[in-house]
Amino acid sequence: MLVDEILNKAREEKRTVLTEIEAKQILGEAGINCTDTRLATTKDEAVAISEKIGYPVVLKISSADITHKSDAGGVMVNLKAKAAVEKAYDDIMASCTAKYPSANIEGVAVQGMAKAGTEVIIGMTKDPSFGPVLMFGLGGIFVEVLKDVAFRIVPLEKNDASEMINEIKGNKLLEGYRGQDPADIPFLEGMLLKLSALVDKTEGIAEIDMNPVFAHKQGAVVVDARIILEAA
C-alpha cells in the first residue's frame, strides 16, 4: 500500500516531516483532491514536466529539511514558458542551498497553477487528552489574524463536518459574498470526512496541514500540504 510505503521510507530515513509530494500522495490515496505535483531532479526534467502538465506552473523546493519554502526563496509561481521554468529552477536551487547548506534537497516539485478560489484550511492535530482533532477554517490571513476555525474529534460523522463549516464566523464568504461564487459545501464536507477516515485508520501521523485549499463553485483542491509524523 502506497501510504505504508511512504511512512516506512520516512521512518527508515529517521525523519518526521514528509515532503509535499509525499503528503499529497497520501492525501490522494484517501480520495482528497490535490494539485498534480511531480518531482523534478534536474532542470530539464522540470521543463519536461511543466510542458506535460501545461503552463502556467509553480515550482517549489522539495526538501523535508525546508518547511518554510517561501522564506527560503523556494517558491516561484505563474511560470508561463520554458525559459521562465529554467530560470526559476536555478534561482530556487541557488537560494535554498545558500540559506540551508546542510539541507537534503531532492529537487523541485512542479505543479499546475491552480485556479484561485475561496481559501480554506483543513488540518489535524493530536490533543493529549482527546487524540486526533480535525480543524476547518478560512485560510490565508483569516486563519492567521482572526483564528476563525472550528474543531471536532475524530472520527467525524456527516453532521459533524456540516457543523464545522457552518459554525465559523466567516461562513458567509463560503455562501457567496458580493458577487463571489459560493463554495461547494458538500465537497468540503466530503474532504473533512475523507481526512477523518485517513487519520482514523493510519497510525503514526501527528499533524496534517492542508493550506491553502481553494474552494470553487464545483469542487475544491489542495494546493499545499504538510504531514508530520510522530517521533519514533
Q: Can you give the pLDDT of all 232 residues of the chain as single tens digits?
A: 799 999 999 999 999 999 999 999 999 999 999 999 999 999 999 999 999 999 999 999 999 899 889 999 999 999 999 999 999 999 999 999 999 999 999 999 999 999 989 999 999 999 999 999 999 999 876 677 668 899 999 999 999 999 999 999 888 889 887 778 899 999 999 999 999 999 999 999 999 999 999 999 999 999 999 999 998 7
Q: What is the DSSP letter of 13?
A: T
pTM: 0.92
How distant, in Å, are the alpha carbons of 58, 160, 162, 214, 231 from that of 35? 11, 26, 24, 10, 28
| Architecture in CATH for domain 118-229 | 2-Layer Sandwich (3.30)
CATH of region 36-113: 3.30.1490.20
Q: 61 in helix, strand or coil?
A: strand
**What does the domain layout of the chain look like in residue ranges?**
36-113, 118-229
Instruction: Write out 104-122 in H/E/C secondary structure.
Output: CCCEEEEEECCCCCEEEEE
Q: What is the DSSP letter of 143?
A: I
